[in-house]
Amino acid sequence: MRTLLEIYTTRYFPCPICAEALEVRESKKDKPYVVCNACGVQMFVRNETGIRRLEQLTQEANTKNVWERLKELPQRYQKTCRQCANKFWVTEETRHTDWLDELDGYTCPQCGVIDKLDSGNT
């Protein structure tokens, strides 16, 4: 059973695929690693420079509100096609612009349907 100190000092690092907060664990050789069971990602940090940088990033994640900002990313940049319900990320290829090159909607990469923005929502 984990102690309260261990619970409150647990370090987390975002999965590079889904951005889920992953607990930073220690290997048998005291090297940090993370595992995302949902994505199947395993990341091991082997050298001292990487270990120091990972430690710095995990400390900054809590003090700079990184987790709240990561939660907002899908809400802001992941869209769902109204036609086929495909979820996709906003990219240069999925952006749809008007003749003045201003954003006016998104093109679904699966079915090609253009989903226009409501007026005033960019």
pLDDT per residue over 25-41, tens digit each? 999 999 999 999 988 99
Q: Give the pLDDT score at 75.
A: 67
Quick: pLDDT tens for 82-117.
889 988 888 888 878 878 878 788 889 889 888 887
Residue 106 within any structural domain of the chain: yes
- Average of per-residue pLDDT values in the chain: 80
Residue 71 within any structural domain of the chain: no
Residue 69 within any structural domain of the chain: no
Go through 80-104 and write b for each residue having 16 or more CB atoms within 10 A of its CB, e for each that does not.
ebeeeeeebeeeeebeeeeeeeeeb
Same domain membership, residue 87 and residue 57: no
